[in-house]
Amino acid sequence: MTSQKYANIDELESFLKAYPAIESIDAVFPDQSGVLRGKRLTLDHARTLFGGGFQLPGSMLLLSVTGSCLDPGGKGVSDGDPDVPVRPVAGSLKTTPWSPTLRGQVMIQFLDAAEQPNRFEPRQILRQVVERFADLGLHPVVACELEFSLIDRERNEQGAPVRPQSPVAGRRHASTQLMSLAYVDDFGDYVNDVTRTCQKLQIPVTALNAEYGGDQFEINLRHVPDAVLSADHAVQLMQVVQGVATRHNIRASFMAKPYAATAGSGMHWHVSLLDEGGNNVFDDGTEAGTGALQHAAAGVLKTMPEAMAFYAPNINSYRRFKPGLFVPMTRSWGYNNRSVAVRVPAGHARDRRLEYRVPGADANPYLALAALLAGMHHGIQQQLDAPAASNGNACIKRDRGLPLRLHDALRCLRNAKILPDYIGAEYCVVYANCKQLELDAFLDDISTREYSWYLRPDA
């Protein structure tokens, strides 16, 4: 197993010398729902962290999307909620340019009681999947595309989001204008601030455009030869997008489907595989690509039902899967076709790669990417045959073998045969238990629609 790299006290002192006005450091980590949590440390306590670490409850990795400890699988209250060691991740100490007060921020790594990598930490789960590729003499090169919606600070009377007013146009958009630069200009100060902040933090943004949904934007990140770092970039980008929005008196949301009538927000992953000589094993100089490409695509399709709970983790996630909105509804793949789950983009043969279009923007980037790479590895290792490539629109009818409701996805994860070998059998069960408890709590609430449909005051 690859040794973990932790920051030491010298890294902190060099940082504080470069930024002498900083008075606190945020120690942060993403939990299983992708929510960034942590502690704000005084400089003295930060020196304790960088000098050898401190302890946090291990159950923090298993919190629900609402921040509750639901004791999934007896991890929390039942086992006494034990502390485990945490360490700062080397190279992750940065400033927070979006904050009113300049602070430092460092990502922390959870260990177990024996000070080994923690099997419940999403970042470690991704790392252990990536390490499997070394057995094949391969390593992934990864990039992420993230979609999000800008919304008003205030919601309507029903608590639903409202489109924000453009400070440039002085009005709210009433329609969707895909790829409209005028829409980008309508929020130009915000967009420019996001771009500048990403540059300061060395988050490799390449492009931003208006998307298909209501006041929806997409940001593309550059490919990097480190899958864990690519997921780090996605998490950092989410923080910047939301932090900068607050500074501009609006909100940014990665909710998968904030508006019923428009397209939802996705998290698309682009992956190629390099051999030990640095050659793209998907590239044979042709448009079709190699057998390895088709094996990888086949593996992703094979594991899709098991992995849906990672790609679409919330009840709202499944509202994206509607006909005609370029969201995959089938276990399909194809060339230059945005209606399929696994797309082989057009372009130069040397850039041959897979684009996976299923995960929602509300997915945990580490877990979604881990599940995707697990499928690719399984397909290549087992040399699975891909079905015929899809032509035309593959997202008209739903695939009956694909769980497109949360309760079905959790059942598929509990019965998984392939993913537990990659993600961890215990983690798959604990994750499914936590999401089931979330779903149960959600369904316990009486919605306004229930009153509208069933109260029947006119009867």
pLDDT in tens, 51-76: 999 999 999 999 999 999 988 889 88
The dihedrals phi and psi of 119, each to the nearest 5 degrees, come to -75, -5
Place of tokens 């895909």: 178
Chain center to CA of 138: 23
Give CA–CA dist 33/127, Å, rounded. Answer: 18
| Superfamily of the domain at 130-423 | Glutamine synthetase/guanido kinase, catalytic domain (3.30.590.10)
Put residue 168 in one of left, alpha, beta given phi > 0 → left and psi -120 to 50 → alpha. Answer: alpha
183: tokens are 């829409």
Backbone angle region of 326, left / alpha / beta, with phi > 0 → left and psi within -120 to 50 → alpha: left
CA–CA separation, 299 vs 380, rounded Å? 7
Q: Which residues pair with 342 in a beta bridge?
A: 333, 356
- What is the full DSSP assignment across 180-198? -HHHHHHTHHHHHHHHHHH
* Cβ proximity of 15 and 93 under 8 Å: yes
Beta-bridge mates of residue 83: 57
Partnered with residue 56 across adjacent β-strands are 84
Under 8 Å CB-to-CB from 140, ≥6 apart: which residues? 130, 133, 225, 227, 271, 272, 273, 373, 376
Residue 18 has which token pair? 């470069």
Q: Residue 204: which residues within 8 A CB-CB, separation 6 or more?
A: 198, 221, 222, 224, 233
Query: Beta strand 83-88 with 205-210: parallel, antiparallel or unpaired?
Result: unpaired
pLDDT score of 318: 97
Give per-residue pLDDT as tens, 345-356. 999 999 999 999
CATH architecture, domain defined by 9-116: Roll (3.10)
Cα–Cα dist 134/117, whole Å: 18
Secondary structure of residue 62 in the 3-state scheme: helix
Question: How far is 144 from 123, CA to CA, in rounded Å?
Answer: 16
Encoding tokens for residue 113? 């009681």
Joined tokens for residue 315 = 């009840």
Contact 140, 133 (CB under 8 A): yes
Phi-psi region at 102: left, alpha or beta (left = phi > 0; alpha = psi -120 to 50): beta
What pLDDT shows up at residue 213? Answer: 64
Residue 4 has what pLDDT?
67
Task: Give the domain ranges of the chain.
Answer: 9-116, 130-423
User: How far apart are alpha carbons 107 and 7 in whole angstroms?
Assistant: 10
Positions in the chain whose pLDDT score sits under 50: 1-2
Phi, psi of 380 (to 5 degrees): -70, -45
Determine phi and psi for 391, rounding to 5 degrees.
Answer: -115, 150
| 373 closest CA partner among 448, 447, 279, 269 | 269
- 3-state class (DSSP) for residue 176: coil
Residue 428 tokens read as: 């798959």
Q: Is 262 helix (H, G, I), strand (E, B) or coil?
A: coil
Of 345, 331, 226, the closest CA to residue 282 belongs to 345
The answer to whether 423 touches 378, Cβ cutoff 8 Å, is no
| pLDDT tens, residue by residue, 291-300 | 999 999 999 9
DSSP state letter for 384: P
Which pLDDT value is given to residue 2?
A: 45
pLDDT of residue 178: 61
In the chain, count H helices and then E strands: 12, 14
| pLDDT (0 to 100) of residue 214 | 64
The pLDDT of residue 175:
65
